[in-house]
Amino acid sequence: MTQPIQAMPSHHQYTIDKEPYYQEAGDEITLYQAAYQSRIPMMLKGPTGCGKTRFIEHMAWRLGRPLITISCHEDMTASDLIGRYLLDANGTYWQDGPLTLAARIGAICYLDEVVEARQDTTVAIHSLTDYRRSLSLEKKGELLTAHPDFQLVISYNPGYQTLMKDLKTSTKQRFAALEFTYPDEETEMQIVCHETGIDQDTARRLIQIARHARNLVGHGLTEGISTRLLVYTAQLISQGIPAISACHMALVRPLSDDPDIRETLDATVSGCF
């Protein structure tokens, strides 16, 4: 026995009601709004923890659109994105995947760290990123035309690109791109202070440590201290943890297991505090 498709979830459950704090670093808000007006697929490029996800959450709130986020991984299949038939006590029924659901309800679909997904999986998004704006549900025998408000957004970290783990050129050229990096010192200080309530002097000291670590990228470090880690550290300090201990825990130890790099960063921490 095959039962009807289950009721489609309301887009309201994916709507962001409270404004996500985002400190603009350039003209990325204006550029993204223009892209959305034309429903151009977007690619957000930048290092881990620099604000890509917060940005897209902020833009979904600003535009009043539901947001469906998918964290990509190497075991993710096309069915995980598109949907599959499931079995319960009443028989089989079709369940939309998050990509299909976003296309149906007119959500912004955000594929986070898309290079982590298998290339045969990412090919499934191609028909939604050109003039067709459609998705073939082959197992279900349906050709779904995307809702007029639907937009596809992907993100990835160019620093992790390898020959085996990169987006195909045929995929990249389906997107317009915004490039993100760590904010300038003043902007980053505002972010850390706003997110944690920490004083500006302490925030500046933390940022000095981060900037020193970022200068070591390519010289023992594959990636620098992120704004996210600065926020974690400031949250620990605001709870009464001594600054040096908080820096060791949330800045130095997550970044490297190399004893020489740790010693260098520990010395920087001691110098700043």
- Residue 163: per-residue pLDDT: 45
Greater model confidence, 13 or 67:
67
Segment 251-273 shows an average pLDDT of 92
Greater model confidence, 20 or 3:
20
- Residue 5: per-residue pLDDT: 45
Segment 12-19 shows an average pLDDT of 88
- CA neighbor of 47 nearest in space, from 161, 180, 209, 233: 180
Instruction: State in Å, rounded, how far the first CA of the chain is from the last one.
Output: 69
HSE of 226, CA atoms in CB hemisphere, 13 A? 17
Instruction: Please say if the pLDDT value at position 18 is more than 90.
Output: yes
pLDDT over 70 for what percent of the chain?
93
Name the helix (H) or strand (E) containing 236: helix 227-238
- Residue 169: per-residue pLDDT: 83
pTM above 0.95, yes or no: no
- Residue 145: per-residue pLDDT: 95
- Residue 74: per-residue pLDDT: 87
Q: pLDDT tens, 126-183?
A: 999 999 999 999 888 899 999 999 999 999 888 765 545 677 888 889 999 999 999 9
Q: Which residues, including other chains, have CB under 8 Å from residue 262's CB and lie 6 or more apart? A: 252, 253, 256
Given a contact cutoff of 8 angstroms between Cβ atoms, the answer to whether 185 and 204 are in contact is yes
Instruction: Please say if the pLDDT value at position 121 is more than 90.
Output: no
- Residue 11: per-residue pLDDT: 66
Greater model confidence, 216 or 63:
63
- Residue 9: per-residue pLDDT: 56
- Residue 161: per-residue pLDDT: 56
Q: At what angle do helices 200-214 and 185-196 cross, to 10 degrees?
A: 130
Segment 94-122 shows an average pLDDT of 91
DSSP state of 131: T
- Residue 162: per-residue pLDDT: 52
Cα 189 to Cα 202: distance, rounded to the nearest angstrom? 9
Instruction: Please say if the pLDDT value at position 40 is more than 90.
Output: yes
Q: pLDDT tens, 46-102?
A: 988 899 999 999 999 999 999 999 999 888 888 999 999 998 888 898 999 999 999
Cα 57 to Cα 110: distance, rounded to the nearest angstrom? 9
Instruction: Please say if the pLDDT value at position 10 is more than 60.
Output: no
